[in-house]
Amino acid sequence: MRDLLRFQPLYQERVWGGRALETALGRVLPAGDPIGESWEVVDRPEAQSIVEDGSLKGQSLRSVLARHAADVMGPGWPAERPFPILIKWLDCRERLSLQVHPPAAVAGELKGEPKTENWYIAHTAPDAKLIVGLKRGVTREHFERSIGDNTVDQCVHRFNVAAGDSILVHSGQVHAIDAGNLILEIQQNSDTTYRVYDWGRVGLDGMPRQLHIAQSLRSIDWNDFEPVPLRAAPTSGMIAECAEFQIRRVVLGPGERIHLRAGEQPRLLSVVSGAVRNAVEGVSGSRAPVSHRLNRGDNVLLPYAGAFTFSAEVTTILLITESFAG
């Protein structure tokens, strides 16, 4: 398998969502309630990415891995093992709940999954902010009291962001995304979220949304104070490094290329600005190239067995996620 894998997006209604995936990324969204998330690459029992085109069109990511694990992930990858990364676009028209994901040390006890994630800010409204971590000196006792008296804002670390900024949010870090952010989230394959505070909001059904205060208090890292985001830069470089994955930012000028060799590792490529085109040897064994144009918002899986050359049509920013197949 030498061709890239592009998947159909899975759109999710969220009370805090909007229509920015339509206006900013040119997507055609389902009508109705606000769309807060687009799951771009996912291999979970409750949600499966479906290949959009090519020789495997219509197959699920799970089916592809079951049949072609070595080609996609490399030698020795168990065919039954889930794909380890989940990629989402988040349209945060309103502020998200204050939440936390359980660290590995307590996830089993709580019957959940750890989740470390990276947020890349693709677009912001003026004065948009993120919330990550605690204000310096806040204790568990102080934080717990603040939930009861609705002063949580005074306990959390809130900071301005701009397009191109990013931050790695580890399991155990309390966090929320403020209104007006369009974010590409690259994360561990997990869907465990404990909601500790929801700013008095109700859900799409008009009822208060469920909180998970006890689980949240057990999961929060009480020594995590005022983390610093990585600010936008006009150059290529590493933007996230953790045990679960690495993310490189690659900046290409018009006509510039990046070459990714076969037999190194599987990778995920995300176009966060601009557009690229690639040509690879046909997957059928013929020498005719299979060409793909990838636009802003596209996320594709580059199999272990494939070699790829991408050429920028305009000034382009790519995110390359790798080192996840360990």
Q: How far is CA 40 from the centre of its chain?
A: 9
Q: What is the mean pLDDT of the chain?
A: 94
The fraction of the chain above a pLDDT of 70, given in percent, is 97
In a domain, 230, yes or no: no
**DSSP string covering 257-283, please?**
EEEE-TTS--EEEEEEESEEEEEEE-T
Q: Do both 157 and 302 map to the same domain?
A: no
Reported as a single tens digit per residue, the pLDDT across 35-74 is 999 999 999 999 999 999 999 999 999 999 999 999 999 9
Reported as a single tens digit per residue, the pLDDT across 104-128 is 999 999 999 999 999 999 999 999 9
The whole domain housing 159 covers 5-219
Q: Do both 188 and 267 map to the same domain?
A: no
Residue 284 has pLDDT above 50, yes or no: no
Tell the burial category of 234 from Cβ atoms under 10 Å away from its Cβ (0-12, 13-18, 19+): exposed
Residue 201 is predicted with a pLDDT of 87
C-beta separation of 197 from 175 below 8 A: no
Distance between CA 152 and CA 155 in Å, rounded?
Answer: 5
Q: Do both 198 and 293 map to the same domain?
A: no
Q: Do both 16 and 154 map to the same domain?
A: yes
Residue 93 has pLDDT above 50, yes or no: yes
In a domain, 81, yes or no: yes
Residue 326 has pLDDT above 80, yes or no: no
Name the domain boundary from 156, 190, 219: 219
Q: Do both 188 and 241 map to the same domain?
A: no
| Identity of the amino acid at 132 | V
Q: Do both 108 and 147 map to the same domain?
A: yes
From the list 62, 195, 248, 249, the catalytic residue is 195
Q: Do both 169 and 244 map to the same domain?
A: no
Residue 203 is predicted with a pLDDT of 81
What pTM, to 2 d.p., does this model score?
0.94
In a domain, 95, yes or no: yes
CA within 13 Å, CB half, 135? 12
Stretch 276-287: mean pLDDT, rounded? 62
Stretch 202-210: mean pLDDT, rounded? 84
Name the domain boundary from 192, 219, 246: 219
Stretch 213-240: mean pLDDT, rounded? 96
The strands making up 194-197's β-sheet, listed across from edge to edge, are: 156-160, 129-134, 175-177, 98-100, 194-197
In this structure, what are the phi and psi dihedrals at residue 125, rounded to the nearest 5 degrees? -80, 160
In a domain, 211, yes or no: yes
Residue 254 is predicted with a pLDDT of 97
Distance between CA 320 and CA 302 in Å, rounded?
Answer: 10
Q: Do both 154 and 266 map to the same domain?
A: no
Q: Do both 56 and 126 map to the same domain?
A: yes
In a domain, 229, yes or no: no
CATH number at residue 301: 2.60.120.10
Q: Do both 108 and 206 map to the same domain?
A: yes
Q: Do both 83 and 172 map to the same domain?
A: yes
Name the domain boundary from 219, 246, 277: 219
For tokens 């909001």, what's the residue? Answer: 201
In a domain, 98, yes or no: yes
Q: Do both 262 and 193 map to the same domain?
A: no
Stretch 187-202: mean pLDDT, rounded? 93
81 carries an active-site annotation: no
Residue 288 is predicted with a pLDDT of 53
- Count how many domains the chain has: 2
Stretch 184-205: mean pLDDT, rounded? 92
Residue 282 has pLDDT above 60, yes or no: no
Tell the burial category of 112 from Cβ atoms under 10 Å away from its Cβ (0-12, 13-18, 19+): buried
In a domain, 232, yes or no: no
In a domain, 231, yes or no: no
